[in-house]
Amino acid sequence: MSFVKGLKHVAATVTALATAAGLLTVGAGVASAGPRDWLRPDATGTCEWDAAGHWVQRCDVWSPATGKNISVQIQPAARGGNAGLYLLDGLRATDISSAWLVDTNAAAKFVNNNITLIMPVGGESSFYTDWETPATYDLKDPVTYKWETFLTKELPVYLEQNFGVARNNNSVAGLSMGGTAAMNLAAHHRDQFRQVLSFSGYLTTTLPGMQTMVRAALLDAGGFNVNAMYGSIFSPRRFQNDPFLNMGNLRGADIYVSAASGTAGPGEAGRGAGLLAGGAVLEVFSNASTKLWALKAKASGLQITEDYLPVGQHNWALFSTQLDRAHDRILDVMNAW
């Protein structure tokens, strides 16, 4: 642990102890800690205070499906509520931290709210799904991806037991790859997710050309083999995991989709030409995919909310703005103010 991180850890612990000492159980005279004032148990003993600050804990959760611990960054609900918000990362997710806490501080955005933030760490190029075979071409050091099993069967048990998150009172949101995954997870597990939000996701993954686009993206982001995800291009699982084809399963859920035009906004002027061009192309594709998905969804009778920003490229300036714009809606639907 670095000196700075150590200081943060000590400061957070002292604050938690001081807060706990000030909360007395009525009539008993016994100190009682609030929902954010203590570190929960995890697979290594206890969680740790995360460097992101606020009330974020970093917890290692054992995953039998993958045979290892998976780190999850969690901010408990402010007043002990049982609602949960899963925030899924983009294609280049790292094993260091969820980008929701690095490139925009989601914890700060919900610091006063009665909803538990759940931010899994890792999952680069995974689409947060269960892969058929090891995900990379390097079979000497295989990467086992069973994200759907972890997020819908293993993690909910841990969250219920240690953070009081109900298994049937959750929202799931994601950006880009995570937006695609959020739609699929909500469609497959309606008993878990009452609300789903896609920020610049790709929602038509089996239409002509999309397979080639995903293959190139996965090779570029870590050398992942798209055929290892669902099998061959004709595999039924590939179609079962296309939001454009499984949207009927979302009936009754609160659905929010958002994308921007791909035009650079005022805050993006300093980005290099390559980043500007790449951000524009990715967002234009997302915009078209999202609008096509929304057109079919409305024709199918789904009640959806669309939010298309006039400027914005496929980067964290946009994703942060999208979360800000959806913030109140999340809390209204989840009754988590």
Residues in the chain: 337
pLDDT at 76: 98
What b/e readout covers 253-286, taking b as 16+ CB neighbours within 10 angstroms?
bbbbbbbbbbebbeebeebeeeebeebbebbbbb
Task: Calculate mean pLDDT across residues 130-145.
Answer: 92
pLDDT at 271: 59
Percent of the chain whose pLDDT exceeds 90: 82
pTM value? 0.89
Residue 189, pLDDT above cutoff 80: yes
Residue 166, pLDDT above cutoff 60: yes
pLDDT at 275: 56
Residue 93 phi, psi (nearest 5): -55, 140
The residues annotated as belonging to the active site are: 176, 283, 314
Tell me how far apart the alpha carbons of residues 319 and 336 are, in angstroms, rounded to a whole number: 22
Question: Using one digit for the tens of pLDDT, what is the confidence trace for 38-85?
Answer: 999 999 999 999 999 999 999 999 999 999 999 999 999 999 999 999
Question: Using one digit for the tens of pLDDT, what is the confidence trace for 154-164?
Answer: 999 999 999 99
